[in-house]
Amino acid sequence: MERNLEKVWLLHQSTKEFNVHGIQQQAFVLRHRMLHFCKNYIYYMVVEVLEPNFHKLKQRLLGDDMRTIDDVMRAHSEFLDECLKECLLTDQNLFRILTKLNQNTNFFARIIQRMFT
């Protein structure tokens, strides 16, 4: 999603010197808002969820209570569950919304790319 929006951004930069109004200006604003959301959500997932949970997992793995491979697998499974939950991917309604946003964003990017080619 982010990669497709970045491609659209490059295309929009090629028309920056032209005085665009109307539908094309609205497409610029929409692309900007989509890219802003995408970058913020990725930042949230990586910095606020994955990094802290990974450090917790690492501390658990280095602890004395890890005696068997089953303990390691259980700790890893709990890490994955916690990450999924905190990334809002376990709630079906939120997951459906994120999926729809992803689909619409990719559709928008394909349409804009077709306009420029």
Any idea what the CATH number is for the domain that residue 98 is in? Answer: 1.20.120.1900
pLDDT of 12 > 70? The answer is yes
* Dist CA 110 CA 9 (whole Å): 12
What sign does the CA torsion over 90, 93, 99, 101 have? negative
pLDDT at 100: 95
d(CA 11, CA 21): 16
> What was the pLDDT predicted at 61?
94
Residue 23 has a pLDDT of 63
Q: Which residue has the higher pLDDT, 23 or 64?
A: 64
**Where are the strands (E) in the chain, listed by range?**
none
pLDDT higher than threshold 70 for residue 17: no
Residue pair 57/74 in contact (Cβ under 8 Å)? The answer is no
Confidence class for position 18, pLDDT limits 50, 70, 90: low
Domain count of the chain?
Answer: 1
Q: What is the pTM of this model?
A: 0.79
Range of the domain at 12: 2-116
